[in-house]
Copies of this chain bind each other. A is one copy, B any other.
């Protein structure tokens, strides 16, 4: 029996006790947004420190100005073993409306789900206590089997992820030397489907910008001034309509600089995932892809940049009608970025375009609302492909390298503050109802999640 087979067997044997430990953690009401649960959040941190210590980590609770961090270290089997930072969060979402829960959210249980598969019910099962425990239990199985861990591991568990992570950046900055690793493992994402594990290799970046256009120095009567006075809603509409051409392409000069095509082999795996336009858009009541023509919905949302108006307001918007020409109109516009698009350049290109459309007697104000570049693990990255092979060995179907349309702030922070790339692997499913009543985690996700990390640790060693 090889080492890895022995570790996997150990993980299987451990499953009942792994579940027991998970349940202990799930019973702690570590709701970070509600001050009433402040002590519970700390209790969860203390529990993690105690448990990590019991399985061989050097672990401690670290105070912040908010909820504490848990940091734990373990040496690797050899000095040359890679150095990994594992991230998860032990805080959970509130449980309101409590009356919609079929089971007590803090009395976890294993049940048979609607799918016929076994599920673990309770708040935090999928987001993120169940997920982080897959890694902890993988480490335990390794340690118990081989007496060591194949890589040098630092664990960072956060208690404020559901509250906007106010302490995270300062903490990363203050402890950069301690936390910096060869790369990070982040376990807070999902599988493609119950049989297909996924690694998120690309996360789109974001530029947010608000524009406020001012025309006359007061609201005007459209009878007295209509036809002569500038209408800021017209100017704004014209600006927004001009952001895309008839093919759905964004028109800003230089916008596609740094955008690379998805490699053909990756695109081929996406095409086989069955996310047809009908299925993807059908779920939200739509059927016609609105973005760039000739690209699949997955490509459009994972690997192509966008310009979207997220809000617009101007003039009279109440009941009935008022024949006013507004003095001001405004819009909030965001750009999702991919590849090497530069947020600063995109913002400047947008502003220059807007300014070029403002009549001489009108004015525009710009209010920036954040900007971060896309994050992209190179598709030929050794890290990525080792993890992919490890996951493919565990699950019925090969792992897919996917993109994510939105951003995950922690990944940007790791890159910016610690110069470290992240591997995003998780075992959640889209029907896990995270943030909602009746959150669940598949028992299979927990069990094979543990086994997956065993394989990944071995592959990376």
Measured CB to CB, the residues of A under 8 A from B are 204, 206, 208, 210, 215-218, 220-231, 233-234, 236-238, 240-244, 280-281, 284-292, 297, 300-301, 304-306, 308-317, 320-326, 329-332, 334, 336, 359-362, 369-370, 404-407
Contact = CB atoms under 8 A, between A and B. Distances in A.
11 contacts: A206-B323, A222-B310, A222-B406, A223-B404, A227-B304, A227-B336, A230-B288, A230-B290, A240-B241, A288-B360, A310-B326
Contacts of A332: 315-317, 321-322
B231 A290 contact: yes
A204 B305 CA distance: 46
Contacts of A228: 280-281, 289-291, 297, 300-301
Copies of this chain, how many? 2
A234 B240 contact: yes
Contacts of A301: 224-228
Contact of A334 (B222, B243, B309): B222
Nearest to A280: B228
Given A237-B238, A241-B241, A310-B315, 20 more contacts: A206-B223, A216-B285, A217-B285, A220-B284, A222-B310, A222-B336, A225-B284, A227-B291, A228-B290, A228-B291, A229-B286, A236-B237, A237-B237, A285-B361, A286-B362, A310-B316, A311-B315, A311-B322, A320-B369, A321-B332
Contacts of A330: 317
Contact of A223 (B210, B309, B312, B336): B336
Contacts of A304: 227
Contacts of A292: 227
Nearest to A331: B233
Nearest to A332: B321
A314 B312 contact: yes
Which of A228, A243, A330 is packed against the most chain B CB atoms within 10 Å?
Answer: A228
Given A223-B204, A224-B301, A290-B230, A325 B313 contact: no
A161 to B, nearest CB: 17
A334 B334 CA distance: 30
B317 A312 contact: yes
Contact of A310 (B241, B290, B323): B323
Contacts of A236: 237, 312
Contacts of A223: 204, 206, 336, 404-407
Nearest to A291: B227
A208 to B, nearest CB: 5
Nearest to A214: B285
A310 B325 contact: yes
Contact of A309 (B234, B280, B287): B234
A436 to B, nearest CB: 14
A315 B309 contact: yes
Nearest to A218: B284
Q: Which 4 pairs between the two chains have the least Cβ-Cβ distance?
A: A223-B406, A217-B285, A311-B315, A241-B241
A2 to B, nearest CB: 41
A309 B224 contact: no
Contacts of A234: 240-241, 243-244, 290, 308-309
A220 B405 CA distance: 12
Contacts of A404: 223
A76 to B, nearest CB: 36
Given A216-B285, A309-B231, A334 B329 contact: no
A55 B193 CA distance: 93
B310 A359 contact: no
